Amino acid sequence: MIAGVDAAAVATRLGLDPAGLSPTVQARIEAAIEDTEAKVEAYLQRPLVSDTSTVKDLYPTWGFDLEDYRAWQYVADRFDDVFTVASYAPAASGQVGYYDVTFTVGLDVAADPSLGAIRAFIAQDAAAALREDPTFTAVTRAVTSVSADGQSVTYEKATTPEAIGARLALTSIKRWRRVSIYARPAGVFTPWPYYTGYGN
């Protein structure tokens, strides 16, 4: 599981014993986790796993430690996500004062403690999806009514996201969503002296 949420965490939310999961139940839980991870990636418009990128021959900005990403301000426009310094070394080219720097780019949901809300959402959403799936029989679904002749059963409906104690909504993790930057197209202007508004 790429976000650090395993089957045991979801099983616990479902009230199941993580140590006693059958291979079939384990596979269903893992599939639900993967589905939720894909949903979260699509919503955030960014991957849940960070990547590394090495930039050669960088000159640091004075006043910052080399471990500080602000020391390498000239790479800010290279990456379309958050980045941190993973490692640095004197430039292989031999230029004095220059460095080859490796950056970690993007979210690292599995390892970053500050991203616990995303992990919690994935675990809770995967558990809720399984609980509401009638084909997943490892958990008992709450019955609200049974017909007199026993031919039909009505199960408890999923709680709306706004209700207290309900499953989290995707908007609960919107602070990490990538904001699309819209570039307003420049207008087309007629050059002087053919511009009709000249002199007005």
Domain regions of the chain by residue span: 7-47+117-135+165-176, 51-105
* Among the ranges given (46-50, 69-73, 103-107, 154-158), the one the predictor scored with the smallest mean pLDDT: 154-158
For residues 76 and 53, what is the distance between their CA atoms, to the nearest angstrom?
13
Proportion of the chain in helix, strand, coil states, percent, rounded to 5: 30, 15, 50
Is the pLDDT reported for residue 150 higher than 80?
no
105-145 pLDDT, tens digit per residue, is: 999 999 999 999 999 999 999 999 998 888 888 887 655 66
pLDDT attached to residue 162: 46
165-200 pLDDT, tens digit per residue, is: 556 788 889 999 986 654 455 555 555 565 555 455
Comparing CA positions, the residue from 106, 86, 111 lying closest to residue 2 is: 111
Dihedral angle sign, alpha carbons of residues 105, 111, 113, 118: positive
Rg, Å, the chain Cα set = 26
**Average pLDDT of the segment spanning 86-91:** 95
